[in-house]
Amino acid sequence: MATGIIKQIFEDKWGEFKEKYPIRPTVLSEVKKMLTCKDMSEGYSKFCCPTCNEVRYVGFTCKSHFCTSCGRKATEQWVEKLSKELF
């Protein structure tokens, strides 16, 4: 599976960065979630087509606001909700 550029930077540099700088536990937790987002070892759903029997596995998302994939979805949902309240 393709990795986004931000996630790739974290995968490459996070270990080195956290050794040099003090980091709050919340940040450590959110970065760990982001790095394991859609990782099959963290759990997945299995979908099977009843017609052709094709099987597809989809890794669970992290649902972290820090994740560039999940955070974007959360932001879009927040904007949608806020726009309905304002207009």
**Confidence check: pLDDT of 21 > 80:** yes
How far apart, in whole angstroms, are the C-alpha atoms of residue 52 and residue 22? 52
Whether the model clears a pTM of 0.85, i.e. scores above it, the answer is no
Give the pLDDT score at 2: 55
Give the pLDDT score at 19: 94
- Cα dihedral 42→45→48→54 (10° resolution): -40
Mean pLDDT score, 43-47: 95
How far apart, in whole angstroms, are the C-alpha atoms of residue 80 and residue 58? 26
Give the pLDDT score at 87: 67
